[in-house]
Structure 1
Amino acid sequence: MFGRRSVPAILAIMALLSLVHAEDRVQSELKFVAHTKAEKTAGVWVDGQYVGFVKELAGDKKIMLLPGKHEVLVRQAWYRDYVQQVILEPGQTSVVNVSLVKDAHSPTHEATGELKISATPTRAAVFVDNQFAGHVDEFDGVGKAMLLTPGRHSVRVALPGYLPFETVVDLRPHQKLKIQTELVKGSITEAGSLVNQQ
């Protein structure tokens, strides 16, 4: 069925497939276990680079890393940062059990303004005053908004692979504002350095 010329081609394809499979065994997988809604929607940084939010980092979007020591940071608005150092061995799967604790400095409802953010893609991260606040889909829709103390606040919406959107809002007590934007595709390097600016 196959001629003699086909044999080297078939052998080359088999060798290439075995190399790809061997490369997968060198990398290590990082998995996340989250129990509360706040933990599932928290942002994740690995070695200072924003990679997405906890509940989306599975399946096709699972995190594969080279072996070695890595710092994992999980951040959610009004919670203390969760930081864990992981040491990954080749082919190993490491599990990060996310455990967020409420921050005592969250604003009260009495003297706050409300900020809604409508942006695409909705999984983009939102930063207020250079602090991670959540993701766009948490601040858009009926009954969804961010509570902020009155005054000026810088707002940045960013996602790797897109150019970030930045603006400044000046909120008064009980004022309601809405920001609408659509992120423009850009280089991962252009957005990457701005996403992890802190």
Structure 2
Amino acid sequence: MKMQFVVRNAVFCLALSRLIIPFTAHAQSQVLGEVKLVGKTKADKTSGVWVDGQYLGYVLELKDDKKILLMPGEHEIAVRQAGYTDFTKKVVVEPRKKTEVEVVMLKDPRTRLPTVTSLVKLKVTPDRAAVFVDDAFAGTVAEFSGVGHGMLVSPGKHRIKIALAGYQAFETEVNLLAHQKMTIKTNLLQGSITQAGASIKQE
């Protein structure tokens, strides 16, 4: 009798757990609101996105299973791209509602490209990871990968960091000669969000 009670109790707990998980997910979906980012130009679509200081990815990919779902309240959206001024906007998210934000990236008049450059190509997975050169956001791996793509930098020493939330950050230092071409190859290792490094979390 006692054994029968234990078995029945275990079955009941298992059945209850199956009910709780979908209910929790459903309840959460009823609370969260969506922020949809819309860009027209290539610069708009390929710029990196930070929400409340946390890097999420680039504009074009943040949809479908990667769409931005946030708790109700005020949030700060920051969009960054090398050679452009930061686009920032505060939005108020409402439960079960979609807020659309049009991203407009403007050229930074202070940006001056070096007359002599070197080329750095990337072969890194995942290719949605953020790339930082000397602590400044440069773009995503995908922008600097493949035929005809690369990152133009001035000759000399540079710190290159590749990071993405949920992965261990990769860092290296290069010392480039004028007109030199080099390729950085690596696979980011999965890890805690805390191992992505400070560049991913920017104020």
TM-score by length of 2: 0.84
Give the match for residue 10 of structure 2: none
Give the 3-state SS of the residue equivalent to 1:195 in structure 2: coil
Most deviating of 154-163 and 84-93: 84-93
Q: 2:51 and 2:17 mapped to 1: Cα distance?
A: 36
Q: 1:85 and 1:107 mapped to 2: Cα distance?
A: 30
Q: Return 5+ residue gaps in structure 1 as ranges.
A: 1-8
Match 1:92 to one of 65, 83, 97: 97
Structure 1 residues 137 and 10, CA gap change in structure 2 (3 angstroms): closer
Q: 1:155 and 1:13 mapped to 2: Cα distance?
A: 46
Most deviating of 134-143 and 184-193: 184-193
Q: Return 5+ residue gaps in structure 2 as ranges.
A: 1-13
Q: 1:161 and 1:150 mapped to 2: Cα distance?
A: 32
Give the match for residue 77 of structure 2: 72
TM-score by length of 1: 0.86
Instruction: Say whether residues 1:145 and 2:150 are aligned partners.
Output: yes
Within a 5 Å distance, the mapping from 1:1-198 to structure 2 comes to: 20-108=25-113, 110-191=115-196, 193-196=198-201
Q: 1:107 and 1:196 mapped to 2: Cα distance?
A: 27
Aligned residue pairs total 193
Structure 1 residues 197 and 153, CA gap change in structure 2 (3 angstroms): farther
Identity %: 49
> Could you list the per-position Cα deviations for residues 40-70 of structure 1 after superposition, in whole angstroms to 9, with x for gaps in the alignment?
1111000000011111110111111001111
Most deviating of 166-175 and 93-102: 166-175
